[in-house]
Structure 1
Amino acid sequence: MPLSQAEQDALWGKKGVSLSGQKSADKYSILEPEEKIIISECQDEAFWLRSLPVSISFAFGTHILHQNGLLKINLIPPPLAKVAFIAGAGVMGYMFGQISYANVCRDKFLTRCPDGVVATDIRLKNGIQTVPYSIFSPINQETWRQLAKQREMTRYRDSIDPGFEIDDEFKDQNITSPNLINDERLKHKVGPVRYGVFRKDDQEQS
């Protein structure tokens, strides 16, 4: 029975910035614990070490330039123009700080959690993506969800025990049954037939 949209959102996250559904309070519910730690570090370090200092520097520099008469807009009253210039410079400084930290954050994922969905996405886009990799990009976050689904499906398939194995002596065998070859109704469907199949339980008991 297929999952409802609400159940899928709770398991894999919603589209957009938030990666969790209504049933999960964890914003990054599809990530490994180490990936969540790295994201928290990237957010804090990018803000305190890059965005905040650069934003203040840009705003202060704009203030000095405006005071010295180097920034003027005749159509706007000077006080309003000054506020607009400083606010714009602050926003630009914040964005520049975030972008400048992107490569540091990327290297954290590749070094500390190379098998995670974020590192996998980074490697897949290496040489293709022309802008710095961003953990806030909805496009990248959607890719994380798809990679997480593939990862869980792979884990599920690997966990299934069919109950039998091919004996090593017969693994390279590629023999086609003569009875099937001579059957006009089935010969077009004939494939390799392997022998030496035994149940795991029988092997363990013996």
Structure 2
Amino acid sequence: MTTEEETELYKAQTDIRHLKNTISALRDELDSQTANKTEAVQRAVADAHHEQLQLQDTVQALRDELEGMRTVMDDAVQKAKADAHGEIVQLTKTAQALRDELEKMRIAKDEEVQRVLAEGKQEAKTLIDTAQALRDELEKMKQEKEETVQRTKADGHGEALQLQRTVGELRDEMELMKYRYDEQRQEMERTFRDENQELRDTISTLREALEAKHAGK
């Protein structure tokens, strides 16, 4: 073998070693990258699994919180219904109490009006009887006066004048009693009207209070 051939052989062997080293280095780098990629994939899978677990925990926590809120809201609704029912019952009782009180006042007022009317009728009857008695007395005195005048006409004009004055005084007294009777009757009518109006005002006030209670409800 010549020197030139040996040189070529050495060069070829050197190139082969260099290529082997390059291939080995590339293989090592490929193995390293493959290992890194596998590790990255495993880490990504682990991270994804961990994140999935966290999301599952979060979803469960949200479900639990939602269920808790639903329970709280249901309890609140039930309590509100119970409170509203209690308030309705209380308002119903109050309205009934107002109706009962109004009825009692109406009955009491009716009884008072009937009593006043009865007393007024009795007093009016007494006054009428008194006036009639005075008329009868006056008529009797007129008759007696005429008889006396006839009997005592000869006794003088002065006594006749005295009798006339007496009759005039009696007539004035009767007119005064009639005037007082009219005044008392008018006063009784005014009292009856005032008490009747007061009863209407009281009933109207109680009715407005009852309607306000219902409206507020």
Q: How does the TM-score come out when normalised to structure 1? A: 0.31
- Which has the larger share of helix? 2
Give the greater-gyration-radius structure (CA).
Answer: 2
Q: How does the TM-score come out when normalised to structure 2? A: 0.29
**More relative contact order, 1 or 2 (CA 8 Å, 6+ apart):** 2
